[in-house]
Amino acid sequence: MAKEKVLVIGAGYSGVAATKLLSKKLKGTDTQITLIDRHSYHTMMTELHEVAGGRVEPTAIQYDLQRLFCRNKNVDIVTDTVVAIDKENKVVKTKLGEYPFDHLIIGMGGEPNDFGTPGVKENGFTLWSFEDALRIRKHIEAIVEKAAIEPDAEKRKAMLTFVVCGSGFTGIEMVGELMDWRARLAKDFKLKKEDFTLKVVEAMPTILNMLDRGGAAKAERYMKKHGVEILTNSPIVEVAKDHIVLKDGSQIPTHTLIWTAGVKATSDAADFGIEKARANRLVANEYMQAKGYEDKNIYIIGDLVYYEETPGKPTPQIVQAAEQTAHCAAENVIASIKGGEKHPFKSNYQGFMVSIGSRYGVANLFDKIKLSGFFAMFMKHVVNLKYFFDIRSGYYMFQYIMHEFFHIKDERNIMRGHSSRYGNVLWSVPLRIFYGLMWLIESSKKVVGDGQWLKPSTWFGQGSWFTDHVVFPFPWLQEQAATTGASAAGGASEATSAASGAAASGAGEAASQAAQQAHFGFSYAYGEQPMQVLDHMPKWFESIMKVMMPNKEIALFFQKFMTVFEICIALALIVGLFTWLASATTIALVVTFCLSGMFFWVNIWFIPVAFALMNGSGRAFGLDHWVVPWIQRTLGRWWYGDVKSRYGTK
Ligand SMILES: Cc1cc2nc3c(=O)[nH]c(=O)nc-3n(C[C@H](O)[C@H](O)[C@H](O)COP(=O)(O)OP(=O)(O)OC[C@H]3O[C@@H](n4cnc5c(N)ncnc54)[C@H](O)[C@@H]3O)c2cc1C
């Protein structure tokens, strides 16, 4: 039997969600799923304003489709533009070819709607694609540069006036970015922050109309406090090159009008011959099947679909609706392939969140929890991180964390830059080498024992960790050692003997006296007995250790292994090889030593030092400079395959 062909058009939120679900549930069936998009990447549309407003690098919101679907073997990716659909013969036509289908899901999204306002296309900017975001960013940089050398004050003011039309998510998030970006632009072009004028122009009497009024009022207060002028009841009727005209006839001189006032269905789907409703959206029934083509297995999802769940109210053009319509359509395709009942669409929206710049936001969750400021922004990041979990992309989750929290410039994140201070790793090289040497010397002592450093033939003897004396101060091992005639304190350093004495029940008087006289401190004070972090093991840790080291033989193996392991860690730190991992391992070792009752407060600095060295210090004068990029390249190619600018095209 021929393979069942499922075609998904559009790799936006809806297309990706549908394809992921189809791939998972049709695994093992004779089905081939093809995802066609005009780009080789998925755009994180909800973060477009961050690129347009110079917060993150453009690539931060582009997620390569091959990387997203590399483990979905039943999915083919095609980079091509769909131009027509032959519904009778069930064939999708693209610029470069034709794709027959048995089931088709269309998730081609929307585009800005200027409602025919003169001049928007020619003189304005829109924000509904990756290209739009880049265009705005480049324009702003160019116009500010031009303004900085403009001698005419009026012209300069017009150049530094940025007007956002529309106060929905897109408009408010965009102006929020401009608010944050102002300081950097002013600094770079030797201007003052006050030279910039930011305006939101809204045709309705209120702003952020999808939010509750309390949340919208907080957002408005915040924007006004940061110098954003908000004009309501002010429809724009014309956009010229250097000004805009409002309905009341007034003009605002500006060279930058960002139009976010409306969304309509993508014009690429206008000629598909499927019934259209408001804003050209394609009408579907409750199963997301295209109206009139239910027998052809054609489904519409995302921003493109027009389905009234309650009369007069179509599904909103938001991510949650995109994903939920996608899941509905995908489940129904699966039902017709595997056999089963089709399910009608049932929405479950969990709320709204709007960011205003990088440090403030407003959120309304489940219509119950209202958040603003840090907590709203935090929730927005949580929701974005959950998205990567939903699409099963650990790689992009990691990248998101890096670019939003660790690689952000100008304090443009909720940590106000504290998590992303740029520093020169070169300055941590001496610390790395010192820390490595410290581990090398300490671990080497366990090899040399009471022998002489320059005479290898004297190593591994008395006092080293390579004799048959157990050095761990664990009571059950010490008891075993005592019964086999071994000295309870043998092999360990004086301090360790004291520790073992304290830990072992009924141990020698000298040890318990030493423990009693111990003084707390972070550095060694002459004549003072340093204090252990813990003078006996917690019970839970003891149980783990008893499993790991039940008897003397295994303990002896462990102590030798640990010595070699510590030498390897030390050498790795010195030469800067796998520095992050080596440093993290030393933290784990120190925590283990502390719990074992073998570590002193005076050495607790190991932990903060190890954290400091996880800053990529091996990349400066260390082998990590070459090794880590090589591993990233090789593993990336092996796991994800070759990343291409076009997929699946002939
Ligand atoms: C700046 C901004 C901020 C936003 N913020 C939020 C927010 O905070 N919360 C929220 O819920 N929503 C937000 N939205 C709305 C949200 O992004 C959309 O609802 C969502 O992207 C819709 O998903 P989709 O899959 O229907 O369409 P899209 O994500 O637009 O994807 C459509 C895909 O189809 C492809 N395509 C189109 N035409 C063709 C063709 N002819 N051939 C091949 N491929 C084609 C496109 O390349 C694209 O990949 C925001 C939107 C913007 C622009």
If pLDDT is split at 50, 70 and 90, which confidence band does 300 have?
very high
Please tell me the distance from the alpha carbon of residue 37 to that of residue 42, in angstroms, as a whole number.
9
Q: Tell me the CA–centroid distance for residue 582 and ligand 1, in Å.
A: 43
Residue 267 has pLDDT above 90, yes or no: yes
Mean pLDDT of 616-627: 96
If pLDDT is split at 50, 70 and 90, which confidence band does 517 have?
confident
Here the ipTM equals 0.99
Which residue, judged by its Cα, is nearest atom 44 of ligand 1?
A: 37
Least confident residue range of 436-450, 473-487, 626-640: 473-487
Residue 289 CB less than 6 A away from ligand 1: no
Residue 390 has pLDDT above 60, yes or no: yes
Please tell me the distance from the alpha carbon of residue 90 to that of residue 230, in angstroms, as a whole number.
50
Q: Is residue 533 within 8 Å of residue 604, measured between CB atoms?
A: yes
Rounded to the nearest 10 degrees, how much is the dihedral formed by the CA atoms of 82, 88, 89, 91?
10
- In 3D space, the residue among 579, 561, 568, 566 whose CA is nearest the CA of residue 624 turns out to be 579
pLDDT top residue among 3 and 160:
160
Residue 268 CB less than 6 A away from ligand 1: yes
- In 3D space, the residue among 277, 311, 313 whose CA is nearest the CA of residue 292 turns out to be 277
Distances (CA, A) of 553 to 478, 529, 558, 560, 646: 12, 32, 9, 11, 59
Distance from chain centroid for Cα 12: 18
- What is the reported pLDDT for 339? 92
Residue 610 has pLDDT above 80, yes or no: yes
Domains of the chain: 4-111+265-348 (3.50.50.60), 120-261 (3.50.50.60), 427-619 (no CATH)
Helices (H), 160-265: 169-188, 213-225
Mean pLDDT of 191-211: 95
If pLDDT is split at 50, 70 and 90, which confidence band does 481 have?
low
- What is the reported pLDDT for 501? 35
Candidates 95, 318, 349, 383: which one to mutate for ligand 1, based on the most atoms within 8 Å of Cβ? 318
Which residue, judged by its Cα, is nearest atom 51 of ligand 1?
A: 46
Please tell me the distance from the alpha carbon of residue 352 to that of residue 189, in angstroms, as a whole number.
36
Per the listing, tokens 């290209």 go with 131
- What is the reported pLDDT for 506? 40
Residue 302 CB less than 6 A away from ligand 1: yes
Closest ligand 1 atom to residue 268 Cα is: 41
pLDDT top residue among 138 and 536:
138
Distances (CA, A) of 7 to 36, 93, 283, 403: 8, 12, 19, 33
Mean pLDDT of 241-267: 96
568 membership: H or E segment, kind and range: helix 552-575
Q: Tens digit of pLDDT for each residue in 544-566?
A: 999 999 999 999 999 999 999 99
Residue 494 has pLDDT above 50, yes or no: no
Residue 167 CB less than 6 A away from ligand 1: no
If pLDDT is split at 50, 70 and 90, which confidence band does 513 have?
low
Rg (CA), the chain: 32
- What is the reported pLDDT for 479? 74
DSSP states along 266-288: -GGGTTS---B-GGGPEEB-TT-
Residue 522 has pLDDT above 80, yes or no: yes
Please tell me the distance from the alpha carbon of residue 393 to that of residue 376, in angstroms, as a whole number.
24
Q: What is the DSSP letter of 524?
A: P
Give the long-range contacts of residues 240-246, CB within 8 A, separation 24 or more. Answer: 240/119, 240/123, 241/123, 242/158, 243/158, 244/163, 244/165, 244/201, 246/201
- Quote the tokens at residue 395: 């790689």
| Number of residues that this document lists for the chain | 650
Q: Is residue 355 within 8 Å of residue 380, measured between CB atoms?
A: yes
If pLDDT is split at 50, 70 and 90, which confidence band does 118 have?
very high
Distances (CA, A) of 60 to 130, 187, 216: 11, 24, 29
Per the listing, tokens 């200027």 go with 114
Q: Tell me the CA–centroid distance for residue 109 and ligand 1, in Å.
A: 5
For 328, how many CA atoms within 13 A lie in the half-sphere containing its CB? 28
Residue 488 has pLDDT above 60, yes or no: no
Percent of the chain predicted with pLDDT > 90: 84
If pLDDT is split at 50, 70 and 90, which confidence band does 483 have?
low
Residue 81 CB less than 6 A away from ligand 1: yes
Mean pLDDT of 251-274: 96
635 membership: H or E segment, kind and range: helix 624-640
Per-state percent for the chain, helix, strand, coil, to nearest 5: 45, 15, 40
Q: Tell me the CA–centroid distance for residue 110 and ligand 1, in Å.
A: 6
Q: What value does the mean pLDDT of the chain take?
A: 92
If pLDDT is split at 50, 70 and 90, which confidence band does 473 have?
confident
- In 3D space, the residue among 482, 442, 618, 474 whose CA is nearest the CA of residue 541 turns out to be 474
Mean pLDDT of 50-73: 95
- What is the reported pLDDT for 169? 87
- What is the reported pLDDT for 624? 97
Please tell me the distance from the alpha carbon of residue 383 to that of residue 355, in angstroms, as a whole number.
13
Which residue, judged by its Cα, is nearest atom 15 of ligand 1?
A: 318
Q: What is the DSSP letter of 268?
A: G
Mean pLDDT of 21-47: 96
If pLDDT is split at 50, 70 and 90, which confidence band does 444 have?
very high
- What is the reported pLDDT for 484? 58
121 membership: H or E segment, kind and range: helix 120-123
Distances (CA, A) of 98 to 15, 16, 78, 94, 385: 19, 21, 11, 6, 36
- What is the reported pLDDT for 492? 38
If pLDDT is split at 50, 70 and 90, which confidence band does 482 have?
low
Q: Tell me the CA–centroid distance for residue 303 and ligand 1, in Å.
A: 7
Q: Is residue 175 within 8 Å of residue 200, measured between CB atoms?
A: yes
- Quote the tokens at residue 274: 């499927």
- Quote the tokens at residue 369: 């929890």
Distances (CA, A) of 361 to 197, 254, 351, 629: 21, 27, 13, 37
